[in-house]
Structure 1
Amino acid sequence: MAKKALIMVEGASNGPLFVRTARRLGLHPVLLSADPHRYDYVSMENGEAVCVDTSDVNAVIQQCNSLRESYDISGITSSLESFYATVGKLCRHFGLPGPNPTSIERCCDKAAQRQLLAEAGVPIPAYRVAANAIEINDAAVEIGLPVILKPGVGSGSSGVRLCRDPDEVAEHTTYLLGGKHIWCSPPRILVEEFAQGPYYWADIMGDQIIGIGTADFGPPPHFVFRGYTYPARLTNEERQRIADVCLSCLRGLSLGWGPTNVELRWTKQGPVVIEVNPRLPGTPIPQLVQAANGVDLITAHIKLVTGEKWDLREKQSYIARAQLLVPDRDGILDRIEGAGRAAAEPGVVEVKLFTEPKALIVRRGDYRDCIGHVIAASRGCAQTEAILQRAVGFMDWSITPPRSLGE
């Protein structure tokens, strides 16, 4: 009997979790990538990485056909949003459970997403779509400062900035259109009203809302996460209003199969949707959810794509919090210490470092600025925060500033 395989198209922050979980579920993980050398964790988990042009659906289909000579392909998925529509097309071709590729493509186009949400009556920030500096400036004036400028396609807050005055609008316009930002599609920029208020996210599988968390950011003008708390402290009414808005998003975007992550701000008018992501949230949120209520999002997702029965029932009731380790300067990371002591602190769930000493640190104002995280969980919010701060206090690192590198 052929070995059962889980095919993954490219990887992202959750990639190691998918590979590890697939192995635990008795599946052979096979990652298809245009650059397999980026994913050394696959071979470390006795998986397989195959080189193929993942931007070419037909090439990926051919590669999957070749793999079927050796494996029984049980499911196909990806932890990366930009390849999730490809996953949907592959699943339809091979008769496997998967998302609707048309819905995914429309959702990943931020302008199309906002138009569909607006038509469905979902509360969203005022926005305009612009293609050049004149259109961007006119849109900022029409909406009123401050505004958010962001690429029409992308994730992880890459290229996203708060612009508080005309000079900042002009500066970020030059950055986005002047060749510094890497575009994966023809340049289109969203000029968006700055929805002010606490940030929340909701994790959804199918049409079932698993839970709602909250997060905080570093200083503006960028939106770099500094910490996550799960579940968020909400009244029953607040929780219901967020849930209702999220379900309206699913209907408006024709989603409802597989994972969805909805990001919101609670403004003076109530919940306003910032983004709908047709995928699981990135690390450390799956670990945070499991630490809080025992729900394993990765396992549930893999079981869904392989046609197995999945379980989203809560098994415990803890408060979990993650603090991200974010440098305050660019340079060379001389050392990073204390991970062992932090991990040994009672109540600490995970300490993870993404960067090795001697690595070059270049802050970009997005998800790539994070060099690690610490997660703690307990039965009380204050207790969890105390555990987390003790653990983070053990962490220490030093960075040689750029001006010193040539001295």
Structure 2
Amino acid sequence: MHTIVFIGSNKSGTSREALTISNEMGYFTVLITNRKSFIRQRKEFPEVHRMIYVENLLDKDKILSIIKDLEQEKSQIGAVISFIDPFVAFAGKLSQELGLVQMSIEALTIMEEKTNVRKHLKKLPVSPKYAVYQLDDPIEKVLNHFKESFPLVLKSPVSNGSKDVLLVNSADELQEGLKYLKKRLPNHTVLIEEYLIGPQYLIEVMVINGEISIVAIIDQEILNGTRFIITGYSYPALLSIEENEKLQTAVFSIIKKLELENGTCHLEMRIVNGEWKLIEINPRMSGGAMNRIIEEGTGINLVKETIKLFLGMEPNLEKTAMKCVYAKFVTVQSRGKLIKVTGRNRALKHDGVKVVFVKPRKGAILRKPLSLGDRYAYVVAVADTTEKAKRIAGKAANEIRFYLDPL
């Protein structure tokens, strides 16, 4: 049996789509997961042929033992893949050890840790000012160092999905933010960066034998507040010729400096006074609705082409569509236990709506957004202009109502 082994998955989004697409491509699909809930909900994963629970997904000996057992059962392992942090580089190392397609492991490893990214890129003009603060150091040290630099952004070096990322505007907020992160971060290290003001974009990239392809540039709409929650994605991003040329130069300089020869990544960047600055880079394609946004806008199923890259096949990144797409995400403004959700069918009836997705089940605890995981629904709409796609998605998203029992 031709087999693909996936290390970890979320319940929905890009990593879940990868399981479905692997199955559709005719592969025996194996998911190794550290989520006991997935084992209990096994019947909800019909696309997975074998699901195996492992408490620590970074336990190389355990994973290799599972793969050896699969091979003894006549499975022919074609790829070991992960679409979620922090297992991307680890999957690449397993592939290397098994003699499969070689990814750029060192580059992927760097991208999984934000302080390493900043250190490797510090001489490039795309890099903001930053410092690494040890939470065991006296707080007066950092207060004195940054007293003239507000606003600032505090980040966990291994955060993803905007978890443990804070905007602080004063010395008091900085002190409170550091205290908050000290309780949450086991490694007691915080990345402190200057706050960059300007429109933000997501850039999806695939690199094949050193050839860099910018697959999509997406405009991001950020919810007002201190947590950088993205509530809207618009494709294609409306950039001037000069902005687009500068972006390509900036992205290529980053990829080459990291020495990424084979793999995928996505970057978040801002235009600041006419120049591009890197917010962050991750060693995988973006999650959530990103694959559907790109497929509706370009005709490219980026998850499928990524799987082909890991299998040693030639990805096809030729665009077969040119449509405007907008994805609108829905959050709630109070904490409570979910009683019911209404409006899904009404949202689907809006002309141009392609997808309506609602994540939480009845009984789930919902809260105001602290990370991207606190977005509870989304609508993807397609139209002939960006403005129209955004308007359709917004109206459809307004149909969705979450009824909560306050806590």
Class of the TM-score when normalised by the shorter of the 2 chains: over 0.9
| Letter matched to residue 301 of structure 1 | T
1:145, distance to aligned residue in structure 2 (A): 0.5
Structure 2 residue corresponding to 1:74, chosen from 57, 75, 78? 78
Question: After superposition, what is the alpha-carbon deviation per residue over 1:171-222, rounded to whole angstroms, capped at 9, x for unaligned?
Answer: 1111110x2x254xx2210111001100011111111111211111112111
1:139, distance to aligned residue in structure 2 (A): 3.8
2:47 maps to what in 1? 45
Does residue 1:57 correspond to 2:60, yes or no? yes
2:16 maps to what in 1? 16
Structure 1 residue corresponding to 2:104, chosen from 94, 97, 100? 100
1:352–1:155 Cα change, 3 Å: same
| Letter matched to residue 5 of structure 1 | T
1:276 maps to what in 2? 281
Provide the rounded CA distance (Å) in 2 between the counterparts of 1:135 and 1:262: 31
1:243–1:384 Cα change, 3 Å: same
SS at match of 1:238: helix
Instruction: Structure 1: give runs of 5+ residues left out of the alignment.
Output: 403-407
Superposed, which structure 2 residues align to 1:290-305 within 5 Å? 290-305=295-310
Does residue 1:90 correspond to 2:90, yes or no? no
CA RMSD of aligned residues (A): 1.7
**Between 37-46 and 91-100, the greater mean CA deviation after superposition:** 37-46
Check whether the contact 1:36–1:50 (CA below 8 A) recurs between aligned residues. Answer: no
| Letter matched to residue 89 of structure 2 | A
Check whether the contact 1:99–1:257 (CA below 8 A) recurs between aligned residues. Answer: yes
Structure 1 residue corresponding to 2:142, chosen from 136, 141, 144? 136
Does residue 1:234 correspond to 2:239, yes or no? yes
2:175 maps to what in 1? 170
Provide the rounded CA distance (Å) in 1 between the counterparts of 2:151 and 2:375: 26
1:353–1:261 Cα change, 3 Å: same
Check whether the contact 1:19–1:47 (CA below 8 A) recurs between aligned residues. Answer: no
Provide the rounded CA distance (Å) in 2 between the counterparts of 1:14 and 1:38: 17
Check whether the contact 1:336–1:397 (CA below 8 A) recurs between aligned residues. Answer: yes
1:260, distance to aligned residue in structure 2 (A): 1.1
1:46, distance to aligned residue in structure 2 (A): 4.2
1:294, distance to aligned residue in structure 2 (A): 0.8
Provide the rounded CA distance (Å) in 2 between the counterparts of 1:162 and 1:176: 12
1:109, distance to aligned residue in structure 2 (A): 1.6
Provide the rounded CA distance (Å) in 1 between the counterparts of 2:376 and 2:185: 22
Provide the rounded CA distance (Å) in 1 between the counterparts of 2:366 and 2:374: 8
1:48–1:136 Cα change, 3 Å: farther
TM-score, normalised via structure 1 length: 0.93
1:36, distance to aligned residue in structure 2 (A): 4.9
1:224, distance to aligned residue in structure 2 (A): 0.8
1:35, distance to aligned residue in structure 2 (A): 2.9
SS at match of 2:45: helix
Number of aligned residues: 394
1:356 maps to what in 2? 361
1:37, distance to aligned residue in structure 2 (A): 3.2
Question: After superposition, what is the alpha-carbon deviation per residue over 1:113-170, rounded to whole angstroms, capped at 9, x for unaligned?
Answer: 1111123x2411100000123443244326x011001111221111101000111111
| Letter matched to residue 192 of structure 1 | E
SS at match of 1:311: coil
**Between 356-365 and 242-251, the greater mean CA deviation after superposition:** 356-365
Provide the rounded CA distance (Å) in 2 between the counterparts of 1:283 and 1:360: 20
SS at match of 1:115: helix
Provide the rounded CA distance (Å) in 2 between the counterparts of 1:326 and 1:225: 10
Provide the rounded CA distance (Å) in 2 between the counterparts of 1:387 and 1:31: 37
SS at match of 2:339: strand
| Letter matched to residue 323 of structure 2 | Y
Check whether the contact 2:324–2:382 (CA below 8 A) recurs between aligned residues. Answer: yes
| Letter matched to residue 141 of structure 1 | K
Check whether the contact 1:216–1:226 (CA below 8 A) recurs between aligned residues. Answer: yes
Question: After superposition, what is the alpha-carbon deviation per residue over 1:73-98, rounded to whole angstroms, capped at 9, x for unaligned?
Answer: 11111011210111111010111114
Check whether the contact 2:337–2:406 (CA below 8 A) recurs between aligned residues. Answer: yes
Provide the rounded CA distance (Å) in 2 between the counterparts of 1:401 and 1:375: 29
Does residue 1:343 correspond to 2:341, yes or no? no
| Letter matched to residue 190 of structure 1 | L
Superposed, which structure 2 residues align to 1:206-285 within 5 Å? 206=207, 207-285=212-290
1:405 maps to what in 2? none
| Letter matched to residue 103 of structure 1 | A
Check whether the contact 1:122–1:273 (CA below 8 A) recurs between aligned residues. Answer: no
| Letter matched to residue 169 of structure 1 | L
1:150 maps to what in 2? 155
Does residue 1:368 correspond to 2:395, yes or no? no
Does residue 1:192 correspond to 2:193, yes or no? yes
| Letter matched to residue 130 of structure 1 | Y
Provide the rounded CA distance (Å) in 2 between the counterparts of 1:98 and 1:138: 46
SS at match of 1:286: helix
**Between 54-63 and 23-32, the greater mean CA deviation after superposition:** 54-63
1:353, distance to aligned residue in structure 2 (A): 0.8
